[in-house]
């Protein structure tokens, strides 16, 4: 395979393509001149100081759907602490859809659902904060949320942002159902401004499912943006979300992350090896690590996966560069990206049904030729005894991966 060096003409080509895409999506009118665009960027720049590394925590949707209540949320907060997950960085407790009454109160305020959240959201935020954690909530840039069981925030953005801030909310996931047909690029920035005015830093997670390529405009609107529609707890769904998300790798950075949807690890639909692939790909892709299982009841196997400190460290690395597929040969793929300290994170991925050898050449990984490299196997928790020159090979089981951090030595 040829060396992947990005040359001047490639950069120019990407710039032209991105501009054409902007124009064809009508994000920037064809007539806008460059200084208008820069000016607009400046005015809208999201600088809430959050998301310098991908967010970590838990969200209720993947496991509980609408069957949530304040007991589950409190017990989840307790479990994040008692399992040691919070110490590893999992600190957001995020309530998804179905937490509110279908009708606002007579002043137009959102109201927590009395039958399931009788103590109200402020009390829940106080509880979660008392454990050293943060509370996230969910709304929608339409008239109703996707469940149709609670109101959305369209037309109520400033009021709702103030309500969230007054309750002590730290994170808002903002969905895209039941809207008025206008573009997300019109509706989402209204909530951005509302949150910036609310008097409390609130992580803003855009959930428009990748419809209008939010990677192209999300960084000035939110701290993360979904690049795909919903994940489910299966190999095909998981791996295809990783693929769709990878396309936008160049556009993720500290403060603004691509989001291939929340984790399914622990929900029972995949094998242990498949969940290891899921966690490894999310980590190396700098995706939000939002657990989606019932963390009050986890097997030892699942705990081992989600508490792998070395894999988490790849996700939280200060450089904040999302990995890319640097080589694809049939079912065998190499995903890699730089880490701080001149290190490189690598996943050797076998998507196929047969055991196979996979070789990563330094050329593929952007490591200078002839470099002597030390390899740390992140799932075996072992630094390999021999050092490597020019390449690293491993045999990988079906639907499995190996994950390494490579460090040039000497
Ligand atoms: C959409 C989102 C999901 C979840 C549900 C809730 O489908 O993409 O992540 O929030 O709505 O109804």
Quickly list H helices, 94-231: 120-130, 157-167, 184-196
**Ligand 1 close to Cβ of residue 157 (< 6 A):** no
Q: What is the pLDDT of residue 41?
A: 47
**Ligand 1 close to Cβ of residue 146 (< 6 A):** yes
d(CA 165, CA 240): 36
Q: Is 161 helix (H, G, I), strand (E, B) or coil?
A: helix
Cα of 47 from ligand 1 centre, angstroms? 26
Tens-place pLDDT, residues 24-44: 444 443 334 555 555 554 455
d(CA 349, CA 323): 13
Q: Is 319 helix (H, G, I), strand (E, B) or coil?
A: coil
Q: Using an 8 Å Cβ cutoff, are 55 and 92 in contact?
A: yes
Tens-place pLDDT, residues 339-372: 999 999 999 999 999 999 999 999 999 999 999 9
Q: What is the pLDDT of residue 3?
A: 40
Q: What is the pLDDT of residue 375?
A: 98
Tens-place pLDDT, residues 303-325: 999 999 999 999 999 999 999 99
Cα of 251 from ligand 1 centre, angstroms? 23
Q: What is the pLDDT of residue 31?
A: 38
Helix, strand, coil fractions of the chain, as percent rounded to 5 = 35, 20, 45
Q: What is the pLDDT of residue 47?
A: 76
Is 175 noted as a catalytic residue in this protein?
yes
Q: Using an 8 Å Cβ cutoff, are 134 and 94 in contact?
A: no
Cα of 225 from ligand 1 centre, angstroms? 13
Options 78, 126, 230, 250, the catalytic residue: 230
Q: Which atom of ligand 1 is nearest to the CA of 173?
A: 10
Options 96, 97, 175, 233, the catalytic residue: 175
d(CA 200, CA 137): 14
CA-nearest residue, atom 4 of ligand 1? 61
Strand bridging mode 224-226 / 203-206: parallel
Low-confidence ranges of the chain (pLDDT < 70): 1-45
CA dist 195 to 38, 176, 185, 253, Å? Answer: 22, 17, 16, 21
The alpha-carbon radius of gyration of the chain (Å, integer) is 22
Q: Using an 8 Å Cβ cutoff, are 49 and 200 in contact?
A: no
Question: Phi, psi at residue 346, to the nearest 5°?
Answer: -135, 135
Q: Using an 8 Å Cβ cutoff, are 212 and 225 in contact?
A: no
**Ligand 1 close to Cβ of residue 61 (< 6 A):** yes
């Amino acid at each position: 395979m040829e060396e992947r060096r990005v040359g001047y003409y490639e950069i120019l080509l990407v710039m032209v393509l991105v501009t054409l895409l902007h124009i064809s999506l009508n994000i920037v009118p064809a007539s806008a001149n460059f200084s208008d665009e820069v000016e607009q960027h400046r005015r809208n720049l999201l600088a809430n100081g959050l998301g310098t590394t991908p967010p970590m925590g838990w969200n209720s949707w993947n496991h509980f759907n609408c069957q949530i209540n304040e007991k589950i949320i409190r017990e989840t907060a307790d479990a994040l602490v008692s399992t040691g997950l919070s110490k590893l960085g999992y600190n957001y407790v995020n309530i998804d859809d179905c937490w509110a009454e279908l009708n606002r109160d007579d002043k137009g305020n959102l109201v927590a659902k009395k039958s399931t959240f009788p103590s109200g959201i402020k009390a829940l935020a106080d509880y979660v904060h008392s454990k050293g954690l943060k509370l996230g909530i969910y709304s929608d840039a339409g008239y109703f949320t996707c469940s149709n069981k609670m109101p959305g925030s369209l037309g109520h953005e400033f009021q709702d942002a103030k309500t969230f801030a007054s309750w002590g909310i730290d994170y808002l996931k903002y969905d895209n159902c039941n809207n008025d047909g206008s573009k997300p690029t019109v509706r989402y920035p209204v909530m951005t401004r509302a949150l910036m005015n609310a008097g409390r830093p609130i992580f803003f997670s855009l959930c428009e499912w990748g419809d209008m390529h939010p990677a192209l405009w999300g960084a000035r609107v939110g701290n993360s943006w979904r690049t795909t529609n919903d994940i489910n707890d299966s190999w095909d769904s998981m791996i295809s979300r990783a693929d769709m998300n990878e396309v936008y790798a160049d556009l993720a950075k500290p403060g603004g992350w691509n989001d291939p949807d929340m984790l399914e690890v622990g929900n029972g639909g995949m094998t242990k090896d498949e969940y290891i692939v899921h966690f490894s790909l999310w980590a190396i892709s700098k995706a939000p690590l939002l657990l989606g299982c019932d963390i009050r009841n986890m097997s030892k196997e699942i705990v081992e996966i989600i508490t792998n400190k070395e894999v988490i460290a790849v996700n939280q690395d200060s450089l904040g560069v999302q990995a890319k597929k640097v080589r694809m040969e049939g079912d065998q793929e190499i995903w890699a990206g730089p880490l701080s300290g001149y290190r490189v994170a690598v996943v050797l991925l076998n998507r196929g049904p047969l055991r196979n050898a996979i070789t990563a050449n330094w050329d593929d990984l952007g490591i200078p030729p002839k470099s002597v490299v030390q390899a740390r196997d992140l799932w075996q928790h072992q630094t390999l005894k021999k050092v490597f020159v020019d390449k690293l090979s491993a045999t990988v089981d079906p639907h499995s991966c190996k994950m390494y951090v490579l460090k040039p030595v000497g």
